[in-house]
Amino acid sequence: MNAPPLHVTFITSHHANKAMKKTWITFNLLALIFILSCNEEEKPSCPPPIGEMIAHVNDTIEWDFKHVYFSRWSEYVGSQESDSLINIDADFINAGCEFELSLDLRVIALTLNRQNLVKRIFGADHPSKLQPHSIFNTWNVDALTERFELYEGEPAWIQLSEITEEKVNGTFQGTYVYRPSTWRFWDLPDTLRFNKVPFEAVLFVPPVE
């Protein structure tokens, strides 16, 4: 059998090279379009920062709480006699606008005197409900994952240094111990020591609907 003409092989190879080159160009164009479309997607809309608390924990961890605010305790108990008491919340939200950590300081008097914090014992009639108390929680977006309770065996206190209608400044200290549960979500130490952490909490104003 005679071999096929040389020009047939040359044409087939030439067409194949052109097809491969076109496929490669198309692939790169599609990749570029995909990248540009991703860049054009809306970025997560994080709430604007309010207040500030940079916490150094266990001398190895630094958390920058950019959402630190306070509210009147009377809003929760419905008593005008409690207007001199506030709740302070410090929330940590990551770069993806996901809620991860919360530090709660409850029933704090508007005074410049140092106030000792106690462990909150949940129950309608437990006296800790009406005392300055604190708890630390971890979250997966809006689901509670771990609870760290205040350890009363080490100093735990809060002291306000400036009080206005719009903000309060101060310092707090406390050690929190992991409360065992059936599973853990975050890889954190069992004990978290917050040592003399300064903060500025801004009055929380509910958004207008």
Q: Round the average pLDDT of the chain to a whole number and report it.
A: 80
Nearest alpha carbon to residue 172 among 31, 70, 72: 70
Q: What's the pLDDT score for residue 78?
A: 54
* Same-domain status, 70 and 153: yes
Q: 121 and 22 in one domain?
A: no
User: What are 7-32's pLDDT values in tens digits?
Assistant: 434 444 444 444 444 344 334 433 44
Residue 84 is predicted with a pLDDT of 87
Between residues 52 and 207, the one the model is more confident about: 52
Domain check: are 23 and 105 in the same one? no
Average pLDDT, integer, range 109-125: 89
Residues 65 and 106 occupy one common structural domain:
yes
Q: How many whole angstroms separate alpha carbon 185 and alpha carbon 167?
A: 34
Distance between CA atoms of residues 88 and 68, nearest Å? 7
Rounded Cα distance between 191 and 175, Å, is 7
Q: Is 47 inside a domain boundary?
A: no
Write out the DSSP string of the chain: -PPPPHHHHHHHHHHHHHHHHHHHHHHHHHHHHHHHHHHHSPPP-PPPPBSEEEEEETTTEEEEE-EEEEEETHHHH--GGGTTEEEEEEEEE-TTS-EEEEEEEEEEESSSS-EE-EEPPPSTT-GGGGS-EEEEEEEETTEEEEEEEEPTTS--EEEEEEE-SSEEEEEEEEEEEE---S---S---SEEEEEEEEEEEEE--PPP-
Q: How many domains is the chain partitioned into structurally?
A: 2
pTM reported for the whole predicted model = 0.74
Which residues have CB under 8 Å from 34's CB, separation 6+? none
Specify whether 145 is located in the same domain as 189.
yes
**Would 30 be classed as within a structural domain?**
yes
Domain that holds residue 24: 1-41
Q: Are residues 79 and 31 in the same domain?
A: no
Check whether residue 65 and residue 139 sit in a common domain: yes
46 is a domain residue: no
Q: Which residue has the higher pLDDT, 51 or 2?
A: 51
Calculate mean pLDDT across residues 120-132: 78
